[in-house]
Every structure is written in C-alpha cells, then in structure tokens.
Amino acid sequence: MAEYAAKLSRAYIRIVGHYSRLGRRVKAIYFDNDDRPEEMFWLIKDDTAYGGRNGLLPLATEILRGMIT
C-alpha cells in the first residue's frame, strides 16, 4: 500500500519503515513506549499523525495533492 501511495503521489509522500533509523526517531517523537504504532500505517503531516482508518482520507488528500503538483 505504501509503495502505491508513493507512486500515485509522484513521490510527494515519503515512505519510512517502522524499523528504519528514521522510523525509530519518528516513533520516539510521536509515540510513547506503550503505543504499538507498528500495527498500522501512519501518515504524519506537520504536527499531526493519522493512523489506520483515520488516516485514509488524509492519505487520499495527500495523494491527490502530489498528483496535482
């Protein structure tokens, strides 16, 4: 799903793996140790994180934004 989002958005959306170096830094900023962010996808825009079903509409919006720009 992430690869399709990146391709459809013409690389406007940046994909970061949960266990990559950057992914671990992002999780340290946005999530507590008790959270399980690996169980779903997350779209992080500015200071807001959208996850799972709540992230589908923002994801679609960002894909369209990438297609237009």
Helices (H), the chain: 2-8, 21-30, 56-68
Q: What percentage of the chain has pLDDT greater than the value 90?
A: 70
Residue 53 belongs to what domain range? 2-68
For residue 37, give the nearest of 13, 14, 16 by alpha carbon.
16
Report the phi/psi class of residue 11: left, alpha or beta, with left for phi > 0 and alpha for psi in -120 to 50: left
Provide the pLDDT for residue 33.
Answer: 78
Please count the other Cβ atoms lying within 10 Å of the Cβ belonging to residue 64. Answer: 13
pTM as predicted: 0.82
How many structural domains comprise the chain? 1
pLDDT, one tens digit per residue, over 9-36 is: 999 999 999 999 999 999 898 888 778 8
CA end-to-end distance (rounded Å), the chain: 21
